[in-house]
Amino acid sequence: MNGVLVVDKPAGMTSHDVVNRVRRILGVRSVGHLGTLDPSATGVLPIVVGSFTRLAQFYLHSEKKYEGMIRFGFATSTYDAEGEATTTPQDVALDLGQVRAIAAEFQGVLRQTPPPFSAKKIAGVPAYKMARKQLAVALRPVEVEVKEFEILDVAGDRVTFRAWVGSGTYMRSIAHEMGVKLGCGAHLAELQRTAVAEFVVEDAHTLEELESFRGESLAKELPAERWSLERQGSLQHVFVHPRKLLSQIPCVTATEETAALLRTGRAANLPEMSRAPLVKVFLGQRELIAIGERIAGTLFHPKIVFGSCD
């Protein structure tokens, strides 16, 4: 079973928890994800299955989109609602214009210090492990990009927003720093990831939905030798169509002869692709067999070869 599906991650689960749950639902060991999502956050978590786990290298620097809420009045140790208050709570009267003016300062390329409770490593140790032991966490600022940061509304001490950011950007840090600028403290109260690269929340499935699809397949009481194929067929509609993956890379449909060359690690000629540095190679409409890398003219060498879907 090879493919990519989009899970709508619930609050309270780590990304690793979701991967383990999908392993059990699909009965497949080779499962991973494309970008960690904080346990308290919800939304888009792309899951890669089977040989498609090899696609992860192409999504290391994917842009993300979020919607969420920032609460002003006090800061927390984790920069979100899960942590303990680190400043004295105070009443605040927010002005929409003022908040939008401050939000504008967080757009563009900026230096951002990750939260102390994060997966960023210090001398090989995740920062959150040190923070839990109340050890000093000294994380260096890193360069991130905030393409859009729109304040949608202000209600009492809470602000709703929509953001589009580059890889490595922490919305928790932005919330915390906005509280510093306003002098009243703030933390990220809610966060939903609505998109990662080409994966969007409208295409996401809950874990309960995946369980129900699996249940429908199990109810057919098929012989063991037919279980794997039938399960893959019954779940095919929850997987993203392979031609929609890595939308920035063009597709080409190979002949059986060309496919045989690429599958055995040999270079093949793809006459239609004289300019593209990379190409997705398909056999038929759905079977992604390789990512080819151009080595000269229209000659491509397989950078990644995927296992057969049968």
304: closest CA among 129, 20, 60, 51? 51
**pLDDT > 90? residue 267:** yes
Give the residue extent of every domain in the chain: 3-61+199-238, 64-196, 242-305
Per residue, the 3-state secondary structure of 248-264, as one string, reads CCCEEECCHHHHHHHHC
Mean pLDDT across 8-20: 95
What is the predicted pLDDT for the residue at 134? 67
pLDDT interval class at 103 (50, 70, 90) = very high
Mean pLDDT across 272-291: 92
Active site residue 153: no
What is the predicted pLDDT for the residue at 130? 66
Topology annotation, domain 242-305: 2.30.130
**CATH code, 64-196:** 3.30.2350.10
pLDDT digits (tens, 9 = 90+) for 55-76: 999 999 999 999 999 999 999 9
Determine which one of 38, 91, 95, 310 is catalytic.
38
**Is residue 193 a contact partner of residue 176, using CB atoms and an 8 Å limit?**
no
CA geometry: angle 102, 108, 112, nearest 5 deg:
75
**pLDDT > 50? residue 226:** no
Strands 121-122 and 125-126: antiparallel
Between residues 115 and 196, which one has the greater pLDDT? Answer: 196
Between residues 222 and 159, which one has the greater pLDDT? Answer: 159
Task: 257-266: list long-range contacts, CB under 8 Å, 24+ apart.
Answer: 259/283, 259/289, 262/289, 262/290, 262/292, 262/300, 262/302, 262/305, 263/289, 263/290, 263/302, 263/305, 265/302, 265/305, 266/302
Between residues 269 and 132, which one has the greater pLDDT? Answer: 269
Across the strands, what pairs with 6? 46
Q: What is the pTM of this model?
A: 0.88
What is the predicted pLDDT for the residue at 140? 83
The first and second tokens of residue 134, run together, are 């109340």
Quote the CA–CA distance of 161 and 144 in Å, as a whole number.
Answer: 18
Quote the CA–CA distance of 50 and 48 in Å, as a whole number.
Answer: 7
Mean pLDDT across 94-118: 92
Domains 3-61+199-238 and 64-196 share a fold: yes
What is the predicted pLDDT for the residue at 220? 46
pLDDT interval class at 122 (50, 70, 90) = low
What is the predicted pLDDT for the residue at 139? 75
pLDDT interval class at 135 (50, 70, 90) = low
What is the predicted pLDDT for the residue at 127? 65
Q: Which CATH class is domain 3-61+199-238?
A: alpha beta
Q: In what order do the strands lie in the sheet with 278-283?
A: 251-253, 278-283, 287-296, 299-305, 268-269
pLDDT digits (tens, 9 = 90+) for 162-191: 999 999 999 999 999 999 999 999 999 999
